[in-house]
């Protein structure tokens, strides 16, 4: 078991070093992004339901549900829950957008290394250029994979949040 973990660690470390410094930045960005996504999932399936139950109890305890003031209170309750539910979504969406840009940065830095090796060797040393090519392609791939997975996760979360808010609006009926 220990040796399998060490082999896995060595393989990941070798991959990260082959991708260059930008790949470490992308990995950190992905760690932050997926931590925020899991935070929203945790909130959605634990705290959010308790908050909705409390809000529904407060609303159902009201006698007046038709006046202008009651409609404003209802809208305030929905807005507060919506803000709590969507609190980190703009950050997640921004991180999704930054992923391919960092991949492009990795491409540029890797190609600069390839051109540097070509200038030194005259373009005849393919083995030396291979390191630069891997530093150009691996971050690009990592940025695209990170962006695509983030798009799917954030779209699913947005759909789930929209559905939860629709259900809340339906439960906070304006009639007595």
Q: What is the pLDDT of residues 43-97, one digit of tens each?
A: 999 999 999 999 999 999 988 888 999 999 999 999 999 999 999 999 999 999 9
Of 91 and 107, the structure prediction assigns the larger pLDDT to: 91
Are 135 and 117 in contact by the 8 Å Cβ rule? The answer is: no
Q: What is the mean pLDDT of residues 29-53?
A: 95
Position 175 scores a pLDDT of 59
pLDDT digits (tens, 9 = 90+) for 114-166: 788 777 777 666 776 776 777 788 899 999 999 999 999 999 999 999 999 99
Position 6 scores a pLDDT of 83
| pTM of the shown model | 0.83
Q: CA angle 110-17-39, nearest 5°?
A: 100
DSSP string, 81-111: HHHHHTTTHHHHHHHHHHHHHHHHHHHHHHH
Position 10 scores a pLDDT of 87
Are 142 and 27 in contact by the 8 Å Cβ rule? The answer is: yes
Are 25 and 103 in contact by the 8 Å Cβ rule? The answer is: no
Position 57 scores a pLDDT of 93
Give me the helix-helix angle, 89-121 and 126-171, nearest 10°: 170
Rounded distance between C-alpha atoms, residue 111 and residue 97, angstroms: 22
Rounded distance between C-alpha atoms, residue 170 and residue 97, angstroms: 34
Position 115 scores a pLDDT of 81
Are 117 and 133 in contact by the 8 Å Cβ rule? The answer is: no
Q: Of 42, 40, 27, 45, nearest to 93 (Cα)?
A: 40
Position 124 scores a pLDDT of 66
């Amino acid at each position: 078991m220990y040796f399998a973990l060490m082999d896995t660690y060595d393989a990941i470390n070798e991959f990260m070093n082959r991708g260059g410094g930008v790949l470490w930045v992308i990995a950190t960005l992905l760690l932050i992004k997926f931590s925020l996504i899991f935070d929203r999932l945790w909130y959605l399936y634990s705290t959010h339901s308790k908050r909705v139950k409390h809000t529904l109890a407060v609303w159902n305890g009201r006698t007046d549900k038709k006046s202008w003031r009651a409609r404003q209170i209802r809208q305030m309750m929905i807005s507060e829950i919506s803000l709590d539910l969507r609190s980190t979504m703009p950050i997640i969406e921004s991180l999704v957008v930054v992923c391919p840009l960092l991949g492009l940065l990795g491409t540029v830095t890797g190609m600069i290394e390839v051109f540097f090796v070509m200038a030194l060797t005259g373009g005849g040393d393919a083995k030396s250029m291979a390191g630069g090519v891997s530093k150009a392609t691996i971050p690009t791939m990592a940025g695209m994979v990170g962006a695509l997975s983030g798009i799917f996760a954030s779209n699913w979360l947005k759909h789930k949040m929209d559905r939860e808010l629709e259900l809340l609006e339906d439960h906070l009926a304006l009639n007595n």
